[in-house]
Structure 1
């Protein structure tokens, strides 16, 4: 009997924002667990590097330069998946942007750009890939949120608002797609990637670590393992949930 809720070695999974950081870590973690990986990003060269490393782990990998804030690009990419692989089992919505700026110095155009990629993009990918999961009678979606959704973030009101939207979107989508497709959200804290280093020095990061009960910065694989859990059989009765992966820096109720 085919498991309705669990990732199988014959399945395919889409990972957005897979060129670097958490997305790369997620792709590498999944490479040994599924037959096909479809990796999207706007950064072509690092995306191909991720693909090469995933292929070295035995995965069949398709890549495509996709801006998930652009509906036509997603539509074209999904059509290509259908032609090449058919329906996919899983979607990991990870792509996002975080331009640091205060509320008073920001612009309407920047807010629209952040919300288009970080929130509307998640809706678009889910809307276009979920029908195939429903047809197949099985599937799972994992959205990557952020601790900022719950505690705010200076110089990042647009980002925090978009991630709070992802958390809420996850709950409603889970209700609408149940019981066939599970939908959950992973919320990382400070992670050992390039993103926080845009605005933080190594000294800043060391200082921030002092406020993390687990005493270290998060690694991409910490998040990737939770994503893998949500896609797998041990999470077959879990949907609509958000979990923090932040070393205890923010303890969710």
Structure 2
């Protein structure tokens, strides 16, 4: 049986990855900050699917939290075959409305943690000649939308670059770029979403199914829904100045209330 490590595993896309991978027979290492939620999740997945589920409490906004996950990923006695870097969050407010400390924390979680965990994971994977990494980004990576979009653009570029460097290693890397997903993400960020049309919302479980299919096909960037594929196609054709104005207005409309 193979083992997958998932950061931010207790909610949203991370929880959907955990459910799907457990159902497929993978053992899991579940990483999040809330030990009670982790234990409940591990027990449920073990009882339902008969897999082994470790729990690891870690705050990836801290060096200590990142180091604890690095240590688990480097354990040769219990190798990790699939890493899902899913942990992330949003800040409410426009630039200068968000404290710089909060912006730096976002970069720590979205960029530094992804860099460090990917590095440790693929070191062992390349030695074994197999493995995979899914770095969860966002369609926000393709539009000018502040620190969040910039950090996710970094995730996409980083993942594509590493995938190219490791093309002959047997290790696959993919940046997952979902659109709006019904999770706790927006509530935690204090964002108002009542006016967002229903058609824009994605189901986390369906998203994960599409993402894993794209990983198996060797894609390095996955936009796992026809609706958002079409939107991203339109984004490529739109003038950058116009696009920046639209995304800024959209952010204010669907942002903090």
Q: TM-score, normalising length from structure 1? A: 0.82
2:99 counterpart residue number: 107
1:104-253 equivalent positions in 2, closer than 5 A: 104-153=96-145, 157-180=146-169, 181-197=171-187, 198-201=190-193, 203-205=194-196, 208-209=197-198, 215=199, 217-232=201-216, 235=217, 238-245=218-225, 247-248=227-228, 250-252=231-233
Name which of 15, 25, 35 aligns with 2:16: 25
Deviations along 1:214-236, one digit per CA (max 9) or x if unpaired, are: x352111122113322454xx2x
Change (3 A) 1:97 1:216: closer
Return the structure number with greater helix share.
2
Change (3 A) 1:174 1:240: same
1:74 aligns with 2:105: no
Partner Cα separation in structure 1 for residue 43 and residue 132 of structure 2: 25
Partner Cα separation in structure 1 for residue 114 and residue 155 of structure 2: 8
Structure 1 range deviating more: 124-133 or 29-38: 29-38
Aligned 8 A contact 2:137 2:176 in 1: yes
Partner Cα separation in structure 2 for residue 104 and residue 52 of structure 1: 43
Counterpart secondary structure, 1:251 = helix
Partner Cα separation in structure 1 for residue 76 and residue 50 of structure 2: 18
Counterpart secondary structure, 1:59 = coil
Deviations along 1:153-201, one digit per CA (max 9) or x if unpaired, are: 4xxx111111111111111111222222111111111111121243124
Change (3 A) 1:78 1:113: closer
Aligned-CA RMSD value: 2.2
Name which of 45, 49, 53 aligns with 2:36: 45
Structure 1 residue 251: Cα displacement: 2.7
Aligned 8 A contact 1:186 1:223 in 2: no
Aligned 8 A contact 2:177 2:221 in 1: no
Moved over 6 A (4+): none
Gap regions ≥5 residues in structure 2 = 237-257
Aligned length: 229
Deviations along 1:99-136, one digit per CA (max 9) or x if unpaired, are: 21211222321211111101111111101111110111
1:64 aligns with 2:56: yes
Q: TM-score, normalising length from structure 2? A: 0.80
Partner Cα separation in structure 2 for residue 116 and residue 173 of structure 1: 19
Change (3 A) 1:79 1:99: same
